[in-house]
A and B are shown apart, each in its own frame.
Chain A
């Protein structure tokens, strides 16, 4: 195929994508001339170019479509549902031919296709206005012509056209578009410049050699060029989520017709960028989620009116950034998930026992939906209810390092949140050692780390039969020994300094992985493994560490499965957690606190759930702007709170040439438009403990709590203060 044709196909497909979006919008805003203009242009461009390239079949179809759209534009026709359906079928027809051209290089005029039917249908739609005699005759002539060439064909009902277009549509989205990517020329130029710089730096390095005085400087330059280059390539791979959203209005329209629903689709955050490969990976889960929302979520118009809601349901698709990942939310305002039906089904399918079911919290019940083979649809419809559902959604999202959350409020609707990392290729992870090997654990699965010194080992590890459990804040956590699981040499208890427990969570399982040592957290570049090693099923890839050695990336979910950790078993553990969080929510009495000392006040605490990380930072890295301390943290500027005057104290203590480390608690608070972080400078972190809030004095910004039988000051949850802090900082800047 020549370049011209290739370009034509890519352009036409883009045009049709636009047309698809506009068409569904047109149905809601039938008088929008701009929309109509856009659609007309798409079809017109195809028609114009095909004539030039010699694709007669395509031209004929596009021509008839253009005709119809022309009448519509001139106001001789009004937008009806049938008309939109007809135009959508026209679009499918055009797409099908484009795919054919792409695959075979020709448009396959000889093949038995139903263009004639489609053209006839379009003409009929066009001919509904009696005033258009001339046009009608013209198109009529055309039909005769087209049908004349295919006399042998029996007339086929128009429905199969739409039916046949289905798989073709899938193919288009699965085929052609994936292999090519449009990149801004500026981005490409920047990449080229960076590659040039990379080559120059390499040349200099090769010439100067290791011993040269400027070697460290060269290494630094290499580092920055590499970082820039990486960022630029990532940027080039980023695609707006809107590309993915674009196909949903059409899908929802078709679905709501088959299911007898009235659904309006709303979008926000289409411009949110996501790595192309990830966009591909979440396409199916998202489609599934949207299908579920229309079929199961939103009720029939009659039911909705009875429930006092508008007959038209609303489906909201939202994409936004949140703490280094992209969240895609599918929310409907339907009936919510009927928990009692879920439970009933779960008992029927032997997923839980009746006794277990009685004790389950609502959140837990919702988790049941993610179990394989679960579907609550009363009847199996063509749309959903075949028992492959949410488990597949979750598995697919977790495969790319993401997670799925489900929220449902009875009578008010269901929200499904897909959380995916920004990019696949580079994963923040923690490198651990076990049995003399290095392994990388993806940070996304890591919940917390517990240090178990050898002498305390016997006390904290508890046994039921042969299985070992770790008691973590009154929850029993199954322990998995990585070295034993992998059949590695185990350290003898005498020489061992103790172990670390990495609390991991994946595919609904939570467990503690016992490793010998923790290495540094590293941003690793994932390299695929050969099929033979993939077959082992425990490693999702390998990576080259900073010291040049290789580390295998542990597949957290598979490891859990291999060790026999089951998600359902885990649910019982979850119950306690949600139980305690429930009481927490109810009276705000019980909570977990992080207790620390900051210069002036001694014992102070923060609610544990606002603390994201604890970092050690060299004092020299803390910068000041307008007298306010700031920290550059993971690409963002973090305002620091130093109420206890720790920084000043440390400044005094610091002697020349010595590096003093500052402990900073990274606290995140939700504010409008995402998460706002602030760093809290503390002297020393003391403990994590449960406590009771005693007195909530809103004016002071501090509260008192009883933690470990001692009265402790508690910083108020930082949401508000963070907001004002950031605002104040912005003024300074």
Chain B
């Protein structure tokens, strides 16, 4: 998947106003992440699950000599496990932040939209949504929810405690289970 397909559906008045987003999909919803914050799109990868990890961790994947931890967007949204193919986006590490991957169903392309089309989160949004979403762009085809990669970073997610309760495999291994 290449980030080169420019989609100038929107009319953009001046360059400062424009922001380029990478569109991605999870379930039936479409999301956008600022292209500057994406390091690489890995495409389909086999993920190695990590036992006992929080549910939002999709697993680990080898990436340029490192072991990259990936976050499952579907799990964060409370959706069912996705059986088919998925796509891993590698996020740029911002300073002290760690590098991580985001697992989504599919990556669309790059769209350029005007900043003025951004609408803040609705006040009725529940806590998890408030953490994950960063407003939405009003596109012609519908809404594109903006994600802030810094808030999706696995250690930040685990700090919030919002996505904690269920674990992969769902066991706490107490000795008497033997």
Cα A535 to Cα B67 in complex, Å, equals: 16
Q: Are B169 and A529 in contact (CB under 8 A)?
A: no
Shortest A545–chain B CB gap in Å is: 10
- As a 0/1 sequence over residues 145 to 178 of chain B, the CB contacts with chain A under 8 angstroms (1 = contact) are 0000000001101100000000111110111111
Given the complex of chains A and B, what is the CA–CA distance between A479 and B99 in angstroms? 38
Contact A530/B178 with A535-B158, A538-B52, A550-B61 known, Cβ cut-off 8 Å: no
Asked if residues B176 and A488 are in contact (CB atoms below 8 Å), the reply is no
Q: Which A residues are CB-close (under 8 A) to B10?
A: none
CB pair B155 A532 closer than 8 Å: yes
Interface contact A437-B60, CB-CB below 8 Å = no
Q: Is B77 an interface residue (CB 8 A)?
A: no
Say yes or no for A481: interface residue by CB 8 A criterion: yes
Taking a contact as CB atoms closer than 8 A, the residue among A481, A550, A552, A564 that contacts B62 in the complex is A550
Q: A residues within 8 A CB of B177? A: 484
Asked whether A466 is an interface residue with its Cβ less than 8 Å from the other chain, the reply is: yes
A434 CB, min distance to chain B CBs, angstroms:
9
Q: Tell me which residues across on chain B come within 8 A of A539, comparing CB atoms.
A: 50
> Inside 8 A of A479's CB, which chain B residues have their CB?
178
Residue of chain A at shortest CB distance from B154 = A532
Does A487 contact B52, Cβ atoms closer than 8 Å?
A: yes
Which of A437, A484, A541 sits near B49, CB closer than 8 Å?
A: A437
Does A546 have its Cβ within 8 Å of any Cβ on chain B? no
Overall SS of chain B's interface: mixed
Task: Tell me the chain A residues, 552-602 only, with Cβ under 8 Å from chain B.
Answer: 552, 562-564
Asked if A466 and B173 make an inter-chain contact with CB atoms under 8 angstroms apart, the answer reads no
Instruction: Select B158's contact among A488, A532, A549, beta carbons within 8 Å.
Output: A532
Assess whether B32 is interfacial by the CB under 8 Å rule: no
Q: Which of B69, B158, B174 contacts A529 (CB 8 A)?
A: B69
Whether B173 pairs with A486 at a CB distance below 8 angstroms is yes
Type the 1/0 row for A478-506, where 1 means its CB is closer than 8 Å to any CB of B.
01110011111000000000000000000
Choose one: A466, A532, A536, A541; the contact of B176 (CB below 8 Å): A466
CA distance A536 to B61 in the complex (A): 18
B98 on the interface (CB 8 Å rule)?
yes
Name the distance in Å between B129's Cβ and chain A's nearest Cβ: 21
Interface residues on A, range: 35 or more
In the bound complex, CA of A467 to CA of B69 (Å): 35
Residue B78, interface by CB 8 Å = no
**B51 at interface, CB cutoff 8 A:** yes
Closest to A463 in B: B178
A488 touches B54 (CB 8 A): no
Interface residues of A in 522-554 (CB under 8 A from B): 527-533, 535-536, 538-539, 541-542, 544, 548-552
Could you tell me the distance between the alpha carbons of A572 and B151 in the complex, rounded to whole angstroms? 51
For chain B, the bracket of interface size reads 20 to 34
Most chain A CB neighbours (cut-off 10 Å) among B54, B62, B174:
B62
Asked if B178 and A487 sit within 8 Å, CB to CB, the answer is: no
On whether the beta carbons of A486 and B169 are closer than 8 Å, the reply is yes
CA distance A437 to B48 in the complex (A): 8
**Does A468 make an interface contact (CB < 8 A)?**
yes
- A532–B164 Cα distance when bound, in Å, is 12
From B69, which residue of chain A is reached at the shortest CB distance?
A530
Contacting B at CB under 8 A, from A296-317, are none
When the two chains form their complex, are residues A484 and B69 in contact, meaning their CB atoms are under 8 A apart? Answer: no
Indicate which residue in A487, A536, A542 contacts B67 across the interface (CB closer than 8 Å): A542
Question: What residue of chain B has the Cβ atom nearest to residue A530's Cβ?
Answer: B69
Rounded to whole Å, the gap between the CB of A543 and the closest CB of chain B is: 8
A488 proximity list for chain B (CB < 8 A): 51, 169
The complex places the Cα of A283 from the Cα of B50 at a distance, in Å, of 33
For A478, give the chain B residue with the smallest CB separation: B178
Q: Is the pair A481, B178 in contact by a Cβ cutoff of 8 Å?
A: yes
A486-B173, A549-B48 known; A527+B178 contact, CB < 8 A: no
CA distance A718 to B46 in the complex (A): 50
Is A527 a contact partner of B66 (Cβ separation < 8 A)?
A: yes
Residues of B within 8 A of A542 (CB): 48, 60, 67
A480 to B169, CA, bound (A): 18
Decide: A552 and B50 in contact? CB cutoff 8 A: yes
B53 within 8 A of A: yes
What residues on A are CB-neighbors of B102 within 8 Å?
none
Q: How far is the CA of A425 from the CA of B170 in the complex (A)?
A: 33
Q: Are A530 and B168 in contact (CB under 8 A)?
A: no
Chain B interface residues toward A at CB < 8 A? 46, 48-54, 57, 60-62, 65-67, 69, 98, 100, 154-155, 157-158, 167-171, 173-178
Give the 10 A-B CB pairs with smallest separation, nearest first. Answer: A564-B175, A487-B171, A487-B169, A486-B51, A530-B69, A550-B48, A532-B154, A542-B67, A527-B67, A485-B173
| Extra A-B contacts (6), CB below 8 Å, given A437-B48, A486-B173, A532-B154 | A467-B175, A484-B171, A487-B167, A487-B170, A531-B98, A532-B54
Contacts A/B (CB < 8 Å), 12 sampled: A437-B51, A466-B176, A467-B178, A486-B173, A488-B51, A488-B169, A527-B65, A529-B69, A532-B155, A552-B50, A563-B178, A564-B178
